[in-house]
Amino acid sequence: MGKLRFLPKESLMHRNRGFTLVEVLVAIAVSSIALASLYVAYDIIERRYTKLRETAIMQQTGRSVLRIIERDIRIAGFRYQDDTGSFVFGVLTDPLTISDSGDACCDEILILYDQHDELSGDTDRVQIRYWVEPYTGSKGTRDRLFKQTSVIQPDQRKDTGQKQVTADYIQDLQFVESGDAANPKSLISIYLALRTKKEYSRDILYERSGYYAGNSTINVTDGYRRSEFGSTIAVRNLMF
């Protein structure tokens, strides 16, 4: 039968000893460096992701807004005819009116056309207005694109519609009309530019592309990122 061995009291105390102050300080320093590295990496990735996300949203918004404006311009000048072939409201003298802002932002456009409801049998002459105005909120001052749809005929259904925000952070909006002598407004060109919500650390120069429609001149250097959109629409209903 083996003998029981007893460790010296000094050896037991040595085994149960905790970390020294130096070891704790070294562990804290290493952990701090690791956490700081992780934070820096996360911040870089988060800023890059935010930039890419804002740019994607800006581009998607620009394309969507351009399609909406195109649709409304394309129907300008439409006049509804009843079952007898008569026009309900007669001649549309000026179905498209563009207010030129010169070399600054932004142009305004008024669109007129007839709208018929098959269910109720009602016919309205509708006016759509697009314009840009400054807006100041918690994120600073920027330009907003508004749309307002109003019923101007018949008198008993006249209604000035509420203005609705169509897009935010507008940089520029231009309309240019062209055509021939018979229909000088048969083609409408649109130029739309948007910017991101935030500025980024690296400033870059932004100049309006000269091959887009419009006569505005924008030349700025800042941290915003911008996207430009352009389109030309054939207005088929302008028969005076």
Instruction: Answer whether residue 36 is part of any domain.
Output: no
Instruction: Answer whether residue 21 is part of any domain.
Output: no
| pTM given for the model | 0.79
Instruction: Answer whether residue 41 is part of any domain.
Output: no
How many domains is the chain partitioned into structurally? 1
Instruction: Answer whether residue 115 is part of any domain.
Output: yes
pLDDT in the model for residue 240: 45
Instruction: Answer whether residue 3 is part of any domain.
Output: no
How much is the average pLDDT of 120-141? Answer: 92
Name the nearest CA neighbour of 92 among 126, 130, 131: 126
Instruction: Answer whether residue 9 is part of any domain.
Output: no
Instruction: Answer whether residue 176 is part of any domain.
Output: yes
Interval 156-215: pLDDT, tens: 999 999 999 999 999 999 999 988 777 777 899 999 999 998 888 788 898 888 888 888
Beta strands in 85-186 (DSSP E): 96-99, 108-116, 123-137, 140-153, 163-167, 170-178
How much is the average pLDDT of 62-70? Answer: 95
Instruction: Answer whether residue 94 is part of any domain.
Output: yes
Quick one: pLDDT band at residue 80, thresholds 50, 70, 90? very high
Instruction: Give residue 210's Cα distance to chain centre.
Output: 22
User: Whole domain around residue 104: which residue ranges?
Assistant: 48-234
